[in-house]
Amino acid sequence: MTTTDLSTARVHTCRLEHVLLIRMDRPAKKNAVDASMTTELDAALNLLEDDPDLRCGVLSGGPDHFSAGTDLASGPGQPTARGGGYGVVGRRRRKPLIAAVEGFALGGGFEMALACDLIVSGRTAQFGLPEVTHGVVANCGALFRAHRGVPLNIARQLLLTGQSISADRALQYGLVNETVDDGDAERAALAMADCIAGNAPLAVQASLQACDAYVHRSDALGWELTAVADAEVRASRDLQEGVRAFLEKRRPRWFGQ
């Protein structure tokens, strides 16, 4: 199997026959998404969608962590025209995308995984939505996608406590398709992608689009309600305090306003 590596500052892509591996590579920031990473993720997913020889993609964070979500120090940049937030979460795709999760997928990182079609994870991986601990809300799809991957009360628990769940629980609920030994998530996701890419591409794409058309029929309302919730906290003192406390590595002192 021949490979071609194309490297950028934040994201690496690797073509493996009909599969595109997209690997986030900002380990010092635990793959927190800044404007550059958003731009590069968008470009990589545009390549997956536009290249007729590519049939499936794998989104990976590498061997240590999937993603800590938004870089709170600099922000994730503007949503892209085709991909929305992070260049990922608002995207409508014809080709399957598998998340390969090691370590943790938190906040926007979890929301990127939720935006994928399948998830493979290491056995000690963690999934969480800690936004409320920073004075913000999950504004990249989790308010309406989390309960599709886990039962409603578990989704509420994730959203309201900010605490994470283990890969074992995620597998039990059906959020994760497969758990593997730590360090093997990317390899296992690529094997799954290779299996998909070996099937008739038009049949795969038609199946995915039909499934998505049904599942995502209420997404417009979900994004509208997310925008309302997000606007409510954007001007709050709690948001300013939450971000400041995170950057200063201390417990926040909430004002409730």
What residues are annotated to the active site?
111, 131
CB of 162 closer than 8 Å to CB of 156 = no
Report the C-alpha gap between 181 and 123 in whole angstroms: 6
Residues 6 or more apart whose CB falls under 8 angstroms from that of 119 comprise 98, 99, 101, 113, 170, 175, 176, 177
- Closest Cα partner for 100 from 172, 160, 19, 154? 19
Report the C-alpha gap between 191 and 211 in whole angstroms: 22
Report the C-alpha gap between 217 and 248 in whole angstroms: 41
Residues paired with residue 22 on neighbouring β-strands, in sequence order: 13, 59
CB of 118 closer than 8 Å to CB of 147 = no
CB of 96 closer than 8 Å to CB of 60 = no
